[in-house]
Structure 1
Amino acid sequence: MKFAYLPNFYGMLNYLESFTMDEKWSYDVVNPNRKNKNNPILENYIHHTFRRLVFERNNLESKIEKNKKIYIDKKEACFNTGLFTDNYKSIYAYFERNKRHNSDLDFVLKGFFDYSHPRLSKINPLPQRAQYFNDISDLIYNTNLDLRTNINHILDNENNRKRIPKSVRDLKNLTILFEGAIQLAKKKVQANYKVAVPQYYNGRIQLLLPICLVDPEIVDLALAVNKHDGYYTGHTCLTMDMAYNNARLIARPDSEWLKV
């Protein structure tokens, strides 16, 4: 919103949702104070994707290389949303120079278009998708490595603790319950590597593991796991909504447990 004027942004998001691949972009329970109740996940996705592209662009030297991330010239600008139509056409956000004299913003968002749209005809090459990882192995949980989880930190941290279901939050044996849930999650990953879902958070790749505290068949939380030199650590648990938001930046989660 510091880059461009966004007229009817929520209407444009609704239109964008209408021609992307079929996907759920809303929560089952939406915060009533939130302005966008139709597709808040899509809104978060667009903002975070742009933020990542700005970061990548700022770390490049030449204008040619910069324009491969966010294309900007005297008349227009665009970036790759990372989304696709049903026919696998890449979708771009397209901007034109802002002609409003009472605005400090250089551009105005004109809409979202697939790569074959005439508005994009003069932009060559079209910008690339945001990149979140360099090594694909970072997206796969290595079951041969040790997982060191600081359960006391998770349970003592106020933000973490309030994410735990109320029915078990104050149990005296919660630590033991949590340890058992982590062991179950590790077994699930051993059976199917897709259970560990990659997410992008705070500039790095993490892996999310499903934590079942109330019912072994129902996931209550996601444990965020960081990879180090020869082992993993876990210090934070996320709600399902938080986990999905972060995971969706990389790709649509392919694991059944992480659904909204």
Structure 2
Amino acid sequence: MIHVPTPADVARRQSPEIGPVTEGHAEALRTFAFFPYRGPKNAPGSVEPAELGRRAWEETLSALASLAEPEEWTDSNPTVRPLPILDSFLRYTHRRLVMEDKIAVTADGEYAASNTGLLTPHAEEIFGLYQRNQHENAQHWFFVGWVAESNRDLLRNFDEPPQMAEYVTSASELVYDWRRELKLAYDHILGDNIDRFPPEMVKQPLRARQALDSAINLTLRRVRRNHKLVIPQWYPKLGEAGAQFLMPLDLTGDGTADLALVVSAVGDRAYRGHTVLTLDMAYTNARLVARPDSDWLAPSAAPIPAIDEAFDVDEARPVEV
């Protein structure tokens, strides 16, 4: 039987980077498995491996978006990357599943499966199904397809479906406690990330600090009356157990959020605001925990920059099963 760690097990783990990585499973999704191109058979034979990999990944994303409940997976500049929010969602969800030992593998090592955390329009869970790759010097797994929980191959090979990724150790971590003191890492926020502030504040750090303090005070007053205003998020490189929070910052006073403050719990009595994110970055991180239900954080706020897993030839090597 596959052991599924409890939230307490996960919380006790430590790592200098993003947390423990299961032996045998690559933390990068496209290193974990080969995603084949299943497009037109008359595709030019001279296509470079990296380009073929791009086509295969775009095809993979489109297939999942079509199978899942309708959701906005693009941003205001969809030509940069296909379905960029879904792209980031899949990659980071896989990392979390590896950290939690939730990649299910059959006893004979022939098949693997993972829970995407998404549902079909009829509320069936969606899984990634993989078969052992027969080729050496390639990814260990070969992507078979996205399947619903009623899929015959999934039922035939797995007695129990793989579990979803979890990002918190208790339900209380999903609600911001306004009673705790909030301390800000001003040096990092205003020193390293001042370029994320509105243009008129970038070269005026004193003005930026005043706007930051004012925005936080205003948000905290509102949070006491509406706890949903602060949204949980997860980002693997922060290396902290459980979720963090995203707090809207209206720096210009026009009634809309300009940035999101990332807040993490420190002990049982305080929070630390350690960085600020643009709204596009914030939405990508928040979507891992749950689809944000907020007026201030939407998927089309701004273009989403490429994350640290870029397309490359190593990930996109054209190996057939």
TM-score by length of 2: 0.72
1:189 matched to 2:228? The reply is no
Is structure 2 residue 203 aligned with structure 1 residue 170? yes
Assess if the C-alpha contact under 8 Å between 1:152 and 1:175 holds in 2: no
Letter in 1 for 2:98: V
Per-residue CA deviation, residues 102-144 of structure 1 (Å, 9 max, x unaligned), is 5432221011111011221211101000111111101101111
Matched, 1:9 2:47: no
Matched residues, number? 242
Give the corresponding residue for 2:73: 25
Partner of residue 248, structure 2:
210
2:289 equivalent to 1:250: yes
1:95-244 equivalent positions in 2, closer than 5 A: 95-99=130-134, 101=135, 103-122=137-156, 123-157=158-192, 160-171=193-204, 172-201=206-235, 202-204=238-240, 205-228=243-266, 229-244=268-283
The CA deviation at 1:188 is 2.1
Asked if 1 retains the 8 angstrom alpha-carbon contact of 2:197 and 2:208, the reply is no
Kindly indicate whether the alpha-carbon contact (under 8 Å) linking 2:117 and 2:165 is maintained by their aligned counterparts in 1. yes
Residues in 2 aligned to 1:173 and 1:251: alpha-carbon distance in whole angstroms:
34
Equivalence for 1:40: 84
What secondary structure, in the 3-state scheme, does the structure 2 residue paired with 1:116 have?
coil
Give distance in 2, aligned partners of 1:9 and 1:116.
25
Q: Aligned pair 1:90/2:125, yes or no? A: yes
* Cα-Cα RMSD: 1.6
CA distance in 1, matches of 2:103, 2:186: 42
Relative to 1, partners in 2 of residues 1:248 and 1:240: Cα closer, same or farther, differing over 3 Å? same
Structure-2 residue corresponding to 1:60: none
* 1:62-101 superposed matches below 5 A: 69-73=102-106, 74-99=109-134, 101=135
Deviation of 1:177 (Å): 1.4
Distance 1:214 1:129 in 2: 39
8 A Cα contact 2:233 2:289, kept in partner: yes
- Pairwise CA distance, 1:248: 0.9
Matched letter for residue 246 of structure 1: N
Moved over 6 A (4+): none
Deviation at 1:97, TM superposition (A): 2.1
Q: Alignment identity in percent?
A: 36
Residues of 1 paired with 2:119 and 2:239: CA distance? 24
Mapped partners of 2:133, 2:274: distance in 1: 45
Shift of 1:211: 0.5
Partner of 2:24: none
Match of 1:56 in 2: 100
Query: 2:32, 2:141 within 8 Å by CA — same for their partners in 1?
Result: yes
CA separation in 2, counterparts of 1:241 and 1:173? 24
Secondary structure of 1:162's aligned partner: helix
Question: 1:25 touches 1:41 (CA, 8 Å); kept in 2?
Answer: yes
Q: Give the residue type in structure 2 aligned to 1:10.
A: E
What is the rounded CA distance, in whole Å, between the counterparts of 2:294 and 2:111 in structure 1?
A: 39
Listed one character per residue, the Cα deviations across residues 50-100 of structure 1 (whole Å, up to 9, x for unaligned) are 11111111xxxxxxxxxxx1111332111000111111110000111223x
TM-score, normalised to structure 1, is: 0.87
Q: In the TM superposition, what whole-angstrom CA distance separates every residue of 1:8-57 from its partner, at most 9, and x where no partner exists?
A: 22212101111212211111135x6x4xx231111111111111111111
CA contact (8 A) 1:168 1:214 kept: no
Deviations 1:209-229 (A, max 9, x none): 000112341111000011122
List runs of 5+ in structure 1 lacking aligned partners. Answer: 58-68
Deviation sequence 1:152-183 (CA, Å, 0-9, x none): 441112xx111112123223422211110111
SS at match of 1:191: coil
Larger RCO (CA within 8 A; separation ≥ 6): 2
